[in-house]
């Protein structure tokens, strides 16, 4: 009887270890996929971040890359945890001016805001840059 219990305990332990290993492999795979997706997301913003850092941005720096940024956001959103999906959506809405009284499409808002601030209010251009950097850095917690 004791031999049967010892054998059962050994088999049960082996099954438990195998299940933990499989679960760990799936968790690691999801973590690595999410991390790689975040790196691809951040690389979509690299030219604009470099332009800001070098002070070489122009009137169409942000509006010219709007489609690329929108595609990166739409590609990564489905694989993110819900908390980060909300965080990304909030940053995107702020960047696109969804919480403003203007009745503009997101791309039109970014183009208009970018042109206005660059040409007339260069000191206010920092607001657009800050919203852009917030959008770019909103997923840093996943790295």
More confident residue, 136 or 122: 136
Q: How far, in Å, CA of 57 to CA of 79, rounded?
A: 32
Give which of 111, 10, 36 is closest to 70, Cα–Cα: 111
Read off the pLDDT of each residue in 130-142 and give the average, rounded to a whole number. Answer: 74
Q: How far, in Å, CA of 85 to CA of 138, rounded?
A: 10
Burial of 76 (0-12, 13-18, 19+ CB in 10 A): buried
The pLDDT tens digits of the residues spanning 57-109 come to 666 666 677 778 888 888 888 888 888 888 888 888 877 777 666 555 666 66
pLDDT value, residue 20 = 92
- pTM to 2 decimal places: 0.64
Read off the pLDDT of each residue in 114-142 and give the average, rounded to a whole number. Answer: 68
């Amino acid at each position: 009887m004791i031999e049967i219990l010892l054998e059962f305990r050994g088999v049960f332990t082996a099954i438990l270890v195998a299940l933990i290993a499989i679960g760990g492999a799936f968790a690691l795979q999801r973590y690595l996929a999410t991390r790689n997706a975040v790196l691809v997301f951040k690389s979509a913003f690299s030219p604009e971040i470099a332009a800001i850092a070098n002070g070489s941005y122009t009137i169409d720096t942000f509006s010219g890359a709007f489609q690329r940024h929108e595609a990166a956001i739409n590609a990564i959103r489905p694989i993110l945890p819900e908390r980060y999906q909300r965080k990304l959506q909030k940053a995107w809405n702020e960047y696109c001016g969804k919480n403003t009284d203007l009745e503009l499409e997101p791309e039109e808002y970014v183009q208009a805001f970018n042109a206005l601030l660059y040409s007339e209010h260069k000191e206010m251009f920092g607001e657009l840059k800050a919203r852009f950097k917030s959008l770019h850095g909103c997923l840093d917690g996943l790295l």
